[in-house]
């Protein structure tokens, strides 16, 4: 089993043989909740691609020290995948970004679509954005990712169209599309946006604006997926064509 992973600050410059202190909330989780003991394997990551692998040296209350055995930095993925997730009621968007993070998404953009019932405004919007970032961080930790996906500030439909026009490739999931997502040519680098609409679907005006900006409308299959599952399903298809081809078994 892969060693548990915890996020820590100030890992830059660490070398094999160093002792690194894991304290704070992550230290408490490792020492008190997970009850790691001396000699057990552990991974420390900075959330930006740096990973230290080692063993627990000592445990002191809600903190522990780790003896570093390996230092590695993950290369930036190419292409990079961004999930543009329309705001949805309930916890469906939370489910979507959690699963997308576990699969390997690189960036998440909340989308205030025309038909989104939920509205992020003022303090409520700030709390919702903070919650998304918390969900993503927890999912990255659970799936032992070296990087925590960036959750950007929300965009409206005009902002999304502008980003589409300046991006490498944008795929809009739409039930009436005729092009299978598996048939789209993917770039070797740059950013690939995957756009998921709200419960009421993407409006004709939004679809037209995105298509005019260069987006391609694609379908996943013959069934209609919920907003909570469409994005992760699309990402799984794309990742299977790119990053998972040489994944270890």
pTM for this model (two decimals)? 0.91
> Domain check: are 61 and 89 in the same one?
no
How many helices and strands, by DSSP H and E, does the chain display? Answer: 6, 13
User: Residue 247: pLDDT above 80?
Assistant: no
Q: How far apart are the first and last CA of the chain?
A: 12
User: Residue 197: pLDDT above 70?
Assistant: yes
Instruction: Provide mean pLDDT across the span 155-171.
Output: 93
Q: Which of 29, 53, 73 is the last residue of a domain?
A: 73
> Domain check: are 66 and 156 in the same one?
no
Tally Cβ neighbours within 10 Å of residue 79: 18
* 220: CATH: 3.40.1280.10
> Domain check: are 88 and 55 in the same one?
no
Residues 18-70 have pLDDT tens digits of 999 999 999 999 999 999 999 999 999 999 999 999 999 999 999 999 999 99
Q: Which of 17-26, 93-102, 113-122, 240-249 has the lowest average pLDDT?
A: 240-249
User: Residue 158: pLDDT above 90?
Assistant: yes
> Domain check: are 66 and 97 in the same one?
no
- Structural domain that includes position 69: 5-73
76 secondary structure, DSSP code? P
Residues 201-234 have pLDDT tens digits of 899 999 999 999 999 999 998 887 888 899 999 9
Q: Which of 47, 73, 99 is the last residue of a domain?
A: 73
* 38: CATH: 2.40.240.20
> Domain check: are 113 and 14 in the same one?
no
Q: How many domains does one find in the chain?
A: 2
pLDDT number for residue 249: 43
In the sheet with 41-45, reading across from the earlier edge strand, the strands are 5-7, 41-45, 50-60, 63-73, 19-22
Q: Which of 43, 73, 103 is the last residue of a domain?
A: 73
> Domain check: are 29 and 110 in the same one?
no
């Amino acid at each position: 089993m892969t060693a548990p992973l915890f996020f820590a600050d100030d890992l830059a410059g660490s070398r094999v043989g160093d002792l690194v202190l894991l304290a704070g909330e992550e230290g408490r989780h490792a020492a008190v909740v997970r009850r790691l003991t001396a000699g057990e394997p552990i991974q420390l990551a900075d959330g930006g691609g740096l990973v230290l692998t080692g063993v627990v040296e000592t445990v002191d209350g809600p903190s522990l020290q780790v003896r570093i055995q390996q230092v590695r930095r993950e290369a930036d993925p190419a292409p990079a995948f961004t999930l543009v997730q329309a705001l949805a009621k309930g916890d469906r968007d939370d489910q979507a970004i959690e699963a997308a993070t576990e699969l390997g998404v690189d960036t998440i953009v909340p989308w205030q679509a025309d038909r989104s019932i939920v509205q992020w405004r003022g303090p409520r919007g700030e709390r919702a954005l903070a919650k998304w970032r918390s969900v993503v961080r927890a999912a990255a930790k659970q799936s032992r990712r070296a990087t925590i996906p960036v959750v950007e500030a929300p965009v409206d439909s005009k902002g999304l169209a502008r980003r589409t026009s300046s991006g490498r490739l944008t795929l809009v999931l739409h039930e009436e599309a005729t092009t299978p997502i598996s048939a789209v040519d993917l770039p070797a680098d740059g950013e690939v946006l995957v756009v998921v609409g709200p419960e009421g679907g993407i409006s004709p005006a939004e679809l037209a604006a995105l298509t005019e900006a260069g987006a391609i409308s694609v379908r996943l299959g013959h069934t209609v997926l919920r907003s909570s599952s469409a994005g992760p399903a699309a990402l799984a298809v794309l990742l299977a064509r790119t990053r998972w081809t040489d994944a270890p078994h």
